[in-house]
């Protein structure tokens, strides 16, 4: 009846070694193929522009993008705009996640409140938050603040719904178990509901990175003072497609980095609970 | 003998928007100190409800429940309740799962930690203290769950089908082991089970419940003649079959 622990020594058979070797090779091949694919796309783009299959003035071109990056780096403006966008996004998604989680806790705490607010949340969730952009702009003014509010607004409802759902799906019997020890509601929240919901909160965090970026870019379109969103709209207006494409590329890199940071936070948090 | 648990005319109804379910009806029972009793009954008849009532996490619709002569008002630290499944938290190690009750009751101190360490060492989990529940076998998980219940040092243990998720061999071995633990730690125990042989072999008394709403259908004091008075050896006792058959007939199971 005593099963062996996980630290049982395993002697590897040649068959298993072969399997592991193959698996490693496949992983390596996937990584290389990914990079090659990217290079191929850029090369194709460059060639298409060079041979005039496409109009580089409209479609831009990797070499032109590179040149744009260099020019923008010289006066430092690229760092400013990227920095502004990152700053607004990070603030937006952190505040959206924190506020959303807090509201979810309130809903969990008071079933009555949850039942009262249910239809409101459903409508808010269905409403495209960007439609509120002009309203926020008028109320909060054309400031960084209104951009962050935009980002927050877009992520907070999704956070509330997802985190609350996760709270609700926590096994009743796990709660019952704590109750048998006489746990208070706060103890139930801290000892089981929150640790149980950490994976959902993290997955919400991942969704929110993307959503907040949407909010920030839309906000920057509207406020038009700084940030990658501003560069994109400005580039579009003066027909500098190189600037637009450069900003979009930087934006993808920013998005990728934020996603990676969240994955890093995920590992830390999962260890912590 | 002192009565440690006493139910007097207890009824319990569940209310949901769909309707009312009468789970327990006019049930009276009492358990003496150090006694081991088993409750058997048809599925869904209200056995778990009876345990929840005794533990104080449910309030009866009518009737009185007393623990050590005091009326029950909410979960009591004298009562340990082992639920139908182990419910170990995946994100805690075995050790930290074992002390969760102490954390909640704010009784985490050197003495209580030492007691838990002793239980873990003594009952075969010493090498697995820092493992996560996913790394344990079903039998070990169930033992960890028992230690979590014992950690808070209750006098009365409520066991809700603690072996039902286990395979037959593990089940036999673990029921023997847990029985020994309970006797050694001098606890009073109420076991709910579907397994008549388990009930007869482990208990001093078996209560048979009726279909829902649960009432006491009959009561069987168990006296077995066996050399080593442990559950497995008691299965060899000459009276065993007799008890088994009587209870089987009373349960009146139609397939
Ligand atoms: N929280 C609840 N709300 C409404 N009805 C409930 C609730 N808990 C249990 N019941 C109902 O009460 C009856 C008794 O349930 P209980 O779990 O006590 O039975 P049981 O004998 O332990 O069943 P099993 O043999 O399946 O473990 C069942 O019909 C069940 O559907
Ligand atoms: Mg049950």
**What are A49-92's pLDDT values in tens digits?**
999 898 988 889 999 999 999 999 998 999 999 999 999 999 99
Mean pLDDT of B18-34: 92
One domain, residues A66 and A44 = no
**pLDDT of residue A1 exceeding 70:** no
Ligand 1, atom nearest to B44 Cα? 23
Give the nearest partner residue to B85 out of A3, A173, A195, using CB atoms: A173
Averaged pLDDT, A160-181: 94
Same domain, A134 and A178: yes
- Contact (CB<8Å) B124/A2: yes
Q: How far apart are CA B157 and CA B51, in angstroms?
A: 10
Residues A75 and A140 in one domain: yes
Residue B15 — pLDDT band, cuts 50, 70, 90?
very high
| Residue B224 clears pLDDT 90, i.e. is over it | no
Query: Quick check: A1 and B139 CB within 8 A?
Result: yes
Question: Domain containing A101 — which CATH number?
Answer: 1.10.3720.10
**Confidence band for B253, pLDDT divided at 50, 70 and 90:** low
Which residues does a 6 A CB cutoff place in the pocket of ligand 1?
A: B 14, 16, 21, 23, 43-49, 212
Helix A14-50 to helix A62-74 angle (10° resolution) is 90
Residue A256: which domain range?
A: 62-272
pLDDT tier, B1 (very low <50, low <70, confident <90, very high otherwise): low
* Beta-carbon contacts below 8 Å between A and B: 68
Question: Å from B82 to nearest chain A CA?
Answer: 8
The answer, yes or no, to whether ipTM is higher than 0.90 is no
Alpha-carbon distance A178 to nearest alpha carbon in chain B (angstroms): 7
Token output for B218: 């009959």
Which ligand is located closest to the Cα atom of residue B47?
1
A268 and A203 fall within a common domain: yes
Contact at CB, B169 and A173, closer than 8 angstroms: no
Which of A135-144, A176-185, B19-28, B39-48 shows the lowest per-residue confidence on average (mean pLDDT)?
A: A135-144
The per-residue pLDDT for A123 is 94
Query: What does the pLDDT look like over A174-224, one tens digit per residue?
Result: 999 999 999 999 999 999 999 999 989 888 988 899 899 999 999 999 988
List the single best residue of A177, A178, A192, A201 to mutate versus B (max B Cβ within 10 A).
A177
Residues A235 and A149 in one domain: yes
Q: Which residues contact A224 (CB under 8 A, 6 or more apart)?
A: A142, A230, A233, A234
- pLDDT at A48 (0 to 100): 94
Global pTM value: 0.85
Per-residue confidence at B250, pLDDT binned at 50, 70, 90?
confident
**pLDDT exceeds cutoff 80 at B254:** no
State whether A97 and A226 are in the same domain.
Answer: yes
Q: Which of B74, B87, B104 sits opposite A173 (nearest CB)?
A: B87
pLDDT, one tens digit per residue, over B67-111 is: 998 999 889 889 999 988 899 999 999 999 999 999 999 999 999
Q: What distances in angstroms separate CA A246 from CA A56, A78, A226, one per listed residue?
A: 13, 10, 15
Q: Are residues A132 and A9 in the same domain?
A: no
| Residue A258 sits in the same domain as residue A135 | yes
Which chain B residues have any C-beta within 8 angstroms of a chain A C-beta?
A: 52, 55, 57, 74-77, 79-81, 83-85, 87, 89, 91, 100-101, 103-105, 124, 127-128, 131, 135-137, 139-140, 152, 169-170, 173-174
A44 plus A139 within the same structural domain: no
Is residue B124 predicted with pLDDT exceeding 90?
A: no
Average pLDDT over residues B28-34: 93
**Who's near A125: CB < 8 A, 6+ residues apart?**
A157, A158, A161
Domain count, chain A: 2
Three-state SS across chain B?
CCEEEEEEEEEEEEEECCEEEEEEEEEEEEEECCCEEEEECCCCCCHHHHHHHHHCCCCCCEEEEEECCEECCCCCCCEEEECCCCCCCCCCCHHHHHCHHHHHCCCCCHHHHHHHHHHHHHCCCHHHCCCCHHHCCHHHHHHHHHHHHHHCCCCEEEEECCCCCCCHHHHHHHHHHHHHHHHHCCCEEEEECCCHHHHHHHCCEEEEECCCCECEEEEEECCCCCCCCCHHHHCCCCCHHHHHHHHHHHHCCCC
* Rounded-to-integer distance, Cα B223 and Cα B237, Å: 9
* Packing angle of the helix pair A144-169, A133-140 (nearest 10 deg): 120
Distance from CA of B217 to the nearest CA of A (A): 28
Residues A17 and A73 in one domain: no
pLDDT bracket for residue A2 (50, 70, 90): very low
Residue B213: asked if its preceding bond is cis (omega within 30°), the reply is yes
Residue B103 to residues A182, A183, A187, A203, B65, Cα–Cα distance (Å): 11, 9, 9, 29, 27
CA distance A266 to chain B (A): 14
Distance CA A236, CA A106 (A): 44
The whole-number pLDDT of residue A243 equals: 93
Do A67 and A50 fall within a single domain? no
A9 vs B169, residue with greater confidence: B169
Task: Tell which atom from ligand 1 comes closest to the C-alpha of B45.
Answer: 21
pLDDT band per the 50, 70, 90 thresholds, residue A4? very low
Q: Are residues A80 and A20 in the same domain?
A: no
- Does B51 have pLDDT greater than 90? yes
- Region B224-243 average pLDDT: 86
Cβ neighbors of A53 (< 8 A, separation 6 or more) are: A47
Is residue B175 within 8 A of residue B163, CB to CB? The reply is: yes
Give the per-residue pLDDT at B24: 93
pLDDT of residue B247: 92
CB–CB contact A5 B127 (8 Å): yes
Contact A176 B57 (CB under 8 A): yes
CA B51 to chain centre: 8
Residue A3 reports pLDDT greater than 60:
no
Is the distance from CB of B207 to CB of B29 less than 8 angstroms?
yes
Burial of A151 (0-12, 13-18, 19+ CB in 10 A): buried
CA B3 to chain centre: 17
Helices A241-272, A77-109: axis angle to 10 degrees equals 40
Once rounded to an integer, what is the mean pLDDT over residues B221-230? 84
- Closest ligand 1 atom to residue B194 Cα is 25
Contact yes or no for B234/B201 (Cβ under 8 A): yes
Chain B residues in contact with A5 (beta carbon < 8 A): 127-128, 131, 135
State the alpha helices, DSSP H only, in chain A.
14-50, 56-59, 62-74, 77-109, 111-126, 133-140, 144-169, 172-180, 185-188, 194-223, 228-237, 241-272
Residue A273 reports pLDDT greater than 80: no
């Amino acid at each position: 009846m005593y099963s062996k622990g996980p630290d049982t020594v395993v002697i590897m058979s040649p068959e298993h070694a072969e399997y592991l070797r193959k698996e490693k090779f496949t992983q390596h091949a996937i990584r290389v193929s990914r990079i090659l694919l990217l290079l191929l796309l850029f090369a194709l783009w460059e060639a298409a522009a060079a041979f005039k299959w496409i109009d580089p003035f409209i479609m831009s071109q990797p070499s032109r993008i590179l040149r744009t990056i260099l020019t923008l780096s010289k006066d430092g403006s690229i760092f400013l705009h990227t920095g502004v966008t990152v700053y607004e996004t990070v603030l937006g998604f952190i505040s959206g996640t924190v506020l959303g989680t807090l509201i979810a806790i309130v809903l969990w705490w008071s079933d009555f409140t949850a039942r009262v607010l249910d239809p409101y949340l459903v409508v808010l969730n269905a409403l495209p938050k960007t439609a509120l952009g002009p309203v926020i702009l008028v109320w909060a003014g054309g400031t960084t603040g209104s951009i962050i509010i935009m980002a927050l607004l877009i992520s907070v409802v999704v956070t509330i719904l997802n985190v609350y759902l996760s709270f609700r799906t926590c096994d009743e019997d796990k709660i019952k178990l704590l109750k048998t020890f006489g746990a208070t509601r706060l103890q139930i929240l801290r000892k089981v509901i929150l640790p149980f919901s950490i994976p959902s909160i993290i997955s919400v965090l991942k969704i929110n990175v993307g959503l907040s970026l949407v909010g920030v870019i839309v906000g920057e379109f509207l406020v038009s003072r700084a940030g990658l969103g501003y560069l994109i709209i400005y580039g579009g207006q003066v027909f500098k497609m190189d600037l637009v494409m450069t900003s979009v590329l930087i934006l993808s890199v920013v998005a990728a980095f934020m996603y990676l940071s969240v994955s890093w936070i995920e590992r830390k948090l999962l260890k912590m609970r | 003998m002192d009565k440690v648990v006493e139910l007097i005319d207890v009824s319990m109804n569940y209310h949901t928007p769909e309707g009312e379910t009468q789970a327990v009806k006019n049930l009276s029972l009492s358990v003496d100190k150090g006694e081991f009793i088993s409750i058997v009954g048809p599925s869904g008849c209200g056995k778990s409800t009876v345990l929840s009532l005794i533990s104080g996490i449910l309030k009866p619709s009518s009737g009185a429940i007393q623990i050590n002569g005091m009326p029950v008002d909410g979960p009591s630290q004298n009562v340990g309740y082992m639920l139908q499944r182990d419910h170990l938290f995946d994100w805690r190690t075995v050790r930290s799962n074992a002390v969760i009750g102490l954390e909640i009751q704010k009784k985490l101190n050197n003495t209580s930690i030492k007691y838990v360490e002793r239980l873990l060492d003594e009952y075969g989990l010493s090498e697995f203290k820092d493992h996560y529940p996913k790394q344990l076998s079903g039998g070990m998980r169930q033992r960890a769950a028992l230690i979590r219940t014992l950690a808070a040092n209750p006098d009365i243990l409520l066991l809700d089908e603690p072996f039902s998720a286990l395979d037959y061999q593990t089940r036999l071995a673990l029921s023997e082991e847990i029985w020994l633990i309970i006797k050694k730690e001098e606890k009073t125990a109420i076991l709910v089970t579907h397994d008549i042989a388990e009930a007869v072999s482990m208990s001093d008394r078996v209560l048979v419940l009726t279909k829902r709403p649960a009432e006491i259908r009959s009561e069987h004091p168990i006296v077995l003649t066996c050399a080593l008075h442990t559950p497995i050896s008691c299965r060899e006792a000459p009276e065993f079959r007799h008890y088994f058959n009587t209870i089987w007939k009373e349960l009146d199971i139609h397939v």
